[in-house]
Structure 1
Amino acid sequence: MGEASTGRQAVDLARELRPDVLLMDIRMPDGDGLWATSEIVGDSLLAATHIVIVTTFELDEYVAEAIRAGASGFLVKDTEPVELLRAVRVAASGDALLSPGVTRRLLSRIAGGLRPARDAAELAALTEREREVLTLVGEGLTNSEIGARLFLSPLTAKTHVSRIMTKLDARDRVQLVVVAYETGLVQPGWQ
């Protein structure tokens, strides 16, 4: 995909080329990267496009807004190339990735009230096992780690995560983490 210098160009290029993964900066003229992310995620023709924000601005508000806009990842520009490639692969597979330094601060802020809390009744559609899996996703565990903890295969854990995403209408694992915190399944400092 070509390089866009404005938010509007990024949206236009995404509509033209329909990439699997798009790397987006936050600060861009003519519609910033957060606006462009929201536009792309909201476009039904681009439902398969996942966005990874790559920026020098590690502000919690930007991270939270990027997730609300539908980004599948958030990395700072000093991220090692191997981690950037990993983020692209993770996003392409439908999962999500945040810079490690951002994750803990963000989750604490979200749990502490950055957004209004969700009603725990939203979890009524989940089975007890799915609630257990969602709690472990909220703690940041991978499918393999969830499987080991619950004595499941990684594939079974992945199936549970996929079903939870469908039931809760979540785009990716980052949104599941937010749901886990906002409904009180997970709270900052829990291990």
Structure 2
Amino acid sequence: MQCAEDHQTLLVVVQPVGIVPEESFFKIYKRISTVSQINVRDSQRVLYIRYRHHYPPESNEWGDFQTHRKVVGLITITDCSSAKDWPQTFEKFHIQKEIYGSTLYDSRLFVFGLQEDIAEQSRTDVAFYPNYDECEDVEKRIEDFIESLFIVLESKRLDRATDKSGDKIPLLCVPFEKKDFVGLDTDSRVHLKILFPFIVGF
């Protein structure tokens, strides 16, 4: 289901953590996915977002070769009605992040059901709501989340623009090719010439 327009979008995965009623999950997912583009503050740029609620981790492995398949953001939704369940719930959130950890720039956890004593804990990556109906600022939090992705991407772009380490060009390869380069110095022009003698300029 890929299309040419995917190349101008950032891929964000939205998934439940623990047991979340399907109807409730898709109710929030629908609201999240309405934030499909934002105008970045203090910039002329527009960010386009592509959301997926199911995205196999093996697809993310293609991110180095096809950037539009790289998961850069993760939003998780969970039910947690008891304070004693909160530590376990938060641990599940971290486990979910590790699945896409190699490419992830930022993440958010939306918690539904906890009482105010827990909800008062200040975290930028966690939002607490009493239920699925009383969550008026979901869209605003998503906009802030997307802007945080932009900040990370922009800082990486500026770092690359000022990098004076030389003219090394990373060797792009698809996931199943990586095993062929184990133990090789893929940055070395000598190895590249041996592997790809037809490349002009080596």
The two structures share one fold, judged by TM-score above 0.5: no
Structure having greater relative contact order (Cα 8 Å, sep ≥ 6):
2
More helix by share: 1
Larger Rg: 2
Query: How would you bin the TM-score normalised by the shorter chain?
Result: 0.3 to 0.5
More strand by share: 2
